[in-house]
Amino acid sequence: MPETVPVSQLYDTILILDFGSQYTHLIARRIRELGVYCELLACTTKIADVPFKPKGVILSGSPYSVYEKDSPHVDPAVWDLKVPVLGICYGLQEIAFTRGGRVHSSDKKEFGKATITISGSSRLFEGLPAELTVWMSHGDQVEKVPDGFKTISATATCPFTAVEKPDENIYGIQFHPEVTHTQHGSTVLKNFVAGICGAAATWTMATFVDKEIERIRSIVGPTAQVIGAVSGGVDSTVAARIMSLAIGDRFHAILVDNGVMRLNECETVKETLQKHLGINLAVADAGELFLGKLKGVTDPEKKRKIIGNTFIEVFEAEAAKIEAAVEQAGKGKIEFLLQGTLYPDVIESISFKGPSATIKTHHNVGGLLDDMKLKVIEPLRELFKDEVRALGSILKIDDDLVWRHPFPGPGIAIRVLGEVTPSQVAIARHADFIFIEEIKKAGLYRKISQAYAALLPVKSVGVMGDARTYEQVIALRAVETKDFMTADWFEMPYDILKRISTRIINEVKGVNRVVYDVSSKPPATIEWE
Ligand SMILES: Nc1ncnc2c1ncn2[C@@H]1O[C@H](COP(=O)(O)OP(=O)(O)OP(=O)(O)O)[C@@H](O)[C@H]1O
Ligand SMILES: O=c1[nH]c(=O)c2[nH+]cn([C@@H]3O[C@H](COP(=O)(O)O)[C@@H](O)[C@H]3O)c2[nH]1
Ligand SMILES: NC(=O)CC[C@H](N)C(=O)O
Ligand SMILES: [Mg+2]
């Protein structure tokens, strides 16, 4: 395989060393928003193993205390890089500790808002007022700064909230510039990455597209073929589009119709991907197979397992068909499997796990890799979801698709509580369709992170047209969330709820009652199963 250049070598890159703070990924988000590329690596990474020359280094916060026996420490080779270093919270304490200063556990802890007073004229605080409201989260304090360092800000209880050694471009701050509660936090980061490190703000999705297409071409080479599962969700669609731009019909997309997609979804996805985006797509019509296997099953975990396993079975059968056709036509072998992995998944797997780290994931196609012996290709691996959306727009993918709410792999099967039968799926689908249509009409779709209708396996009594009814209940769920790990229920205006409920009861046969879910996550989850 030809040598390929990692993204970090194509852009000025800031290296973030993660010591296990809950906020490290936010540092990366903020820097990317400034148009500067950055990558996060675990604090235990040896500088010699970093695959690029960073323009600057940021040391993150941490649940540890620097003076404890088993605390993580930065590779001292970081100082030989001779590039600017910024320590945030634990990062500041680490700079003090490793360069001859002193850090201790203070009886004056600071959690939440604090006011810092800036002294002198540091490049880090250029253009900022002399007083700033910042967000703090620390119990330890620097009590003596190393030689050659000077203090550039303090609070009433913490004398060293910011220090610098300008001749070596080393900076440390006790507060968190990456959280939105810190006033001018982005300016502080900008002063560091653009001003002090001199990193160019060239990281835009427009520049990424061409470089990524080139990169894919060099990875895949002139003849190899690539397969990939696409769902019609934004991640797999953007990944598929970029593949097809790079290698044309040597990319083979497979959409599995599992019988539990949204109303008309397979047709729409097929139309959009095949016709409008020119993606070489095969649809595996497996609805009956899935629903057959789900017959009589009511346990949510069993349903998920059956769907996951059947998905792999169908995908592999479809891939074998494509392989046979490719062989017959004398084309190159299928060597790669496309995956829509995003940067948060990567961060999750490489970040330094402090004592408090617990993260949840969902995988749909993980089981494919072991048997298939294909190399994985992940064009979105460096991107956050909003960057994927921006990329989608640049690739001329419809707004409707770019902003589509996420849809779980097991689909409506985990939204029909209890046994999944074709008639139950039809009811849930129809109600869901009305719900989403009305949210869109009301201009609320983009404000809501995810919305759907669930069909409950209970019946209640009602009266319609003077007659008694005994029918099922639809539960409407709409949530607002940034990362889907926690979520608030959406405060849906009453008039819209009224319209939706009337339409569902009037139009969906088998439903005589609609309820709205007012549970946040935690303690509930977004899906009902
Ligand atoms: N019905 C399906 N047919 C083919 N592949 C699927 C199907 N459902 C899920 N997948 C695969 O599982 C992957 C993960 O699904 P996931 O829902 O996390 O991402 P997505 O559908 O691409 O985007 P989104 O998060 O916006 O829904 C998809 O990228 C796709 O490769
Ligand atoms: O691709 C997926 N495969 C799954 O098995 C799966 N289960 C839940 N979800 C989606 O994950 C987010 C969080 O859902 P929960 O709060 O219900 O865990 C929400 O966005 C859910 O829709 C899944 N996505
Ligand atoms: N948020 C942090 O980085 C905290 C650092 C250290 N654990 C302290 O309490 O001071
Ligand atoms: Mg999806």
Distance from C-alpha of 423 to C-alpha of 448, rounded to nearest angstrom = 28
Q: Is 462 annotated as a binding residue?
A: no
- pLDDT at 348 (0 to 100): 76
Taking the alpha carbons at both ends of the chain, their separation in whole angstroms is 44
How many angstroms separate the alpha carbon of residue 240 from the centre of ligand 1? 11
Distance from C-alpha of 115 to C-alpha of 212, rounded to nearest angstrom = 44
Distance from C-alpha of 323 to C-alpha of 369, rounded to nearest angstrom = 16
Is residue 140 lining ligand 3, measured as CB closer than 6 Å?
Answer: yes
Distance from C-alpha of 421 to C-alpha of 292, rounded to nearest angstrom = 9
Q: What are phi and psi of 503, to 5 degrees?
A: -65, -45
Q: Which residues contact 292 (CB under 8 A, 6 or more apart)?
A: none
Count of Cβ atoms closer than 10 Å to residue 12 Cβ: 22
Residue among 380, 387, 413 at smallest CA distance from 402: 387
Q: Which residues contact 52 (CB under 8 A, 6 or more apart)?
A: 6, 8, 9, 13, 15, 39
Distance from C-alpha of 431 to C-alpha of 453, rounded to nearest angstrom = 6
- pLDDT at 1 (0 to 100): 40
The residues carrying an active-site annotation are 89, 176, 178
For residue 91, the SS3 value is: helix
Strand (E) or helix (H) holding 292: helix 287-294
Rg over alpha carbons for the chain, rounded to the nearest Å, is: 27
What does the angle CA 254 – CA 257 – CA 260 come to, to the nearest 5 degrees? Answer: 140
Tokens of 393: 């727009």
How many angstroms separate the alpha carbon of residue 476 from the centre of ligand 4? 19
The structure tokens 């609070």 sit at 155
Bridge partners (DSSP) of residue 85 are: 57, 170
Q: Is 418 annotated as a binding residue?
A: no
- pLDDT at 44 (0 to 100): 93
Bridge partners (DSSP) of residue 154 are: 117
The 10 Å CB-count burial string (b at 16+, else e) for 292-326 is ebbeebeebeebbebbbebbbebbeebbeebeeeb
- pLDDT at 372 (0 to 100): 65
Distance from C-alpha of 349 to C-alpha of 65, rounded to nearest angstrom = 23
> For residue 64, which atom of ligand 3 is closest to its CA?
7
pTM for the full model?
0.84
Is residue 89 lining ligand 3, measured as CB closer than 6 Å?
Answer: yes
**pLDDT tens, the chain, 529 aa long:** 445 678 888 899 999 999 999 889 899 999 999 999 999 999 999 999 999 999 999 999 999 999 999 999 999 999 999 999 999 999 999 999 999 999 999 998 999 999 999 998 999 999 999 999 999 999 999 999 999 999 999 999 999 999 999 999 999 999 999 988 899 999 999 999 999 999 999 999 998 999 899 999 999 999 999 999 999 999 999 999 999 999 999 999 999 999 999 999 999 999 999 998 999 999 999 999 999 999 999 999 999 999 999 999 999 999 999 999 999 999 999 999 999 888 888 887 777 776 544 333 344 444 555 666 789 999 998 898 889 999 999 999 999 899 999 999 999 999 999 999 999 999 999 999 999 999 999 999 999 999 999 999 999 999 988 899 999 999 999 999 987 878 999 999 999 999 999 999 999 999 999 999 999 988 999 999 9
Residue among 174, 249, 218, 230 at smallest CA distance from 10: 218
The type of residue at 278 is G
- pLDDT at 51 (0 to 100): 92
For residue 409, the SS3 value is: coil
Q: Is 83 annotated as a binding residue?
A: no
Is residue 248 lining ligand 3, measured as CB closer than 6 Å?
Answer: no
